[in-house]
Every structure is written in structure tokens, then in C-alpha cells.
Amino acid sequence: MFTDSHCHLDFPCFKDELDPLLAALKQKGITKLVIPATQASAWPMIKEMASAHSPLYYSLGIHPHFLDSFEEVHLAHLHDMLLSRDDKCIALGEIGLDKFAQASQTQQEWVFVKQVEIALQLELPIILHCVKKQGRVLAILKALNFQQGGVYHAFSGSLEVAHEFIKLGFKLGVGAVITYPNSTKTRQTFATLPLDALLLETDAPDMPLYQQQTKNNSPLNIIPIFECLASLRSEPKAQLATQLYNNMHNIFSLSND
């Protein structure tokens, strides 16, 4: 059995193909998927999707690329929705800092800190988006004494940085970047890290596989990502698959199959 720890099935490109996609995922043994929210306007729809489809789980948060629609009242709404969350809501996220986001660094950090404080109060893991801001994110998390862990989505840093996040309880998302032959550093990092620190993800519809022919990425691509990871690791495939599946359950509160 496989899981996709990060995919955006609420995006419009999946609207008309969700049911056949879920059927195809079930056939391939991909049994659990997490939909991380990016903005407040999507929260009700994501919650409804997860309620209607047993393989789907979700998190609620505000992504640094979507701060153009941010209002301070959204933080109160976020707190209230998470406080009264159902069993399908398993984290706060996708949140973080991004060097290339249009929002100012000041605004990004303020919104990020406020959301981490909510996660601390409600004892929730976070799903972390971090692009070219690893040092600053680490500094903030350490200053807030955040030790509830979560997932560093789409990790592509060094072995040293990876271990800093692992010390804070984070799993590292293994995505399509490892299928690119020139991603030498990231491939070496994922070949070396402790297996219990890794999770599979696609970030569908973004982050396509190397030489992908279709326009949009799909959670179905968990399988080729797994195969690529297996080619980099020394463990037998069966052990690798089992541990990756268990890692998802270790960081998130998921139902058992």
C-alpha cells in the first residue's frame, strides 16, 4: 500500500476526473492521500471532499503564495475550524516562507508565525512549504520551541539541513525531483537519510516527473517516485514500502486499512 502525503486534488484540473482517478489509485494500492489547503476560500470544499471520499485527508492553512487574498480574520477562522476539526483533518498547512512569493518577507513571516502558534496551541503537526528560506524557518521554529513535527514538503536541501528538521520531528517529502538525473544532491540526501524520516508525495498537479508527457502531475505518479527512491536505497522494496506507509501513520492520525 502507498500514500501520497501532499497533493492538491481540490485544484480545478481535477474537478471532472476525481472519481475515475480515485478508482485508479485504489487499483494501484494508493490508499491514502492528504490535501493541504493553500487559502481560506478553499477550506470548506476540501473538508467536504475528504468527508465524501474515504482515501482523502486534509490540512488547513494559508500558503505564502496566496497571501494576496489574506485577511487577518482568516486566522480566527483557521483556529475555530481546527478546534472543531473532524477525523479527516490531520494537520495545519500548507504554511511557510518562500523567497519567490510576491508577498513581502515581513507579511510572510507574520502569517507563518501566527499559524505555527495555532498549531502549538492545538497540538497539531504542520505541513511546511519552504523555498530558499530554510535557515529562517528553522530559526522561527526553534524560537517558538515547536516540537510537534510535521512534513517538510518537497524537500530538496542538503543532508545537514535535513537533519536539523528531523531533530524537530519533521518527516521529509520525497517527490518527483529525485527522478531528475541532475538532482544529484537531493538524490544523495534521500539515499542516505534514515528511512523512518521519509514520506512519498507528488504535489499534483505540480512538480512533474522527469520527461513527463502529460500536462498535469497525478497522485498515480507515487509509484514511479517510489521506484526511483528504491533504486537509490539499499533496503528491499517490500521493507521500503512498509516503512514509508508506517511513517505516514506515525506523523498523522490516519485510520488503519
Is 23 within the bounds of a domain?
yes
Domain-located, residue 256: no
- Is position 257 within any domain? no
Domain assignment present for 234: yes
Contact 7, 204 (CB under 8 A): yes
Query: Where in the sequence is the domain holding 203, given as residue range(s)?
Result: 2-251
- The torsion of the CA quartet 219, 92, 135, 114, rounded to 10 degrees, works out to 150
Q: Is 53 helix (H, G, I), strand (E, B) or coil?
A: coil
Residue 60 sits in a domain of what CATH number?
Answer: 3.20.20.140
Q: Would you say residue 114 has pLDDT above 90?
A: yes
Rounded mean pLDDT, 51-57: 97
Q: Residue 133 falls within a domain, yes or no?
A: yes
The answer to whether residue 33 sits within a structural domain is yes
Q: What is the pLDDT of residue 157?
A: 86
The three-class DSSP label of residue 159 is helix
Alpha helices in 94-145 (DSSP H): 105-122, 134-143
Judge contact between 129 and 144, C-beta under 8 A: no
Q: What is the pLDDT of residues 186-217, one digit of tens each?
A: 999 999 999 999 999 999 999 999 999 999 99
Beta-bridge mates of residue 127:
93, 151
Q: Is residue 221 situated within a structural domain?
A: yes
- Report how many domains make up the chain: 1
Size of the chain, expressed as the number of residues it contains: 257
Q: How far apart are CA 206 and CA 69, in angstroms?
A: 21
Which cell numbers in the block locate residue 164? 536539523
Question: Is residue 208 assigned to a domain?
Answer: yes
Inter-residue contact 148 to 120 (CB < 8 Å): yes
* Averaged pLDDT score across all residues of the chain: 97
Q: What is the pLDDT of residues 129-169, one digit of tens each?
A: 999 999 999 999 999 999 999 999 999 989 999 999 999 99
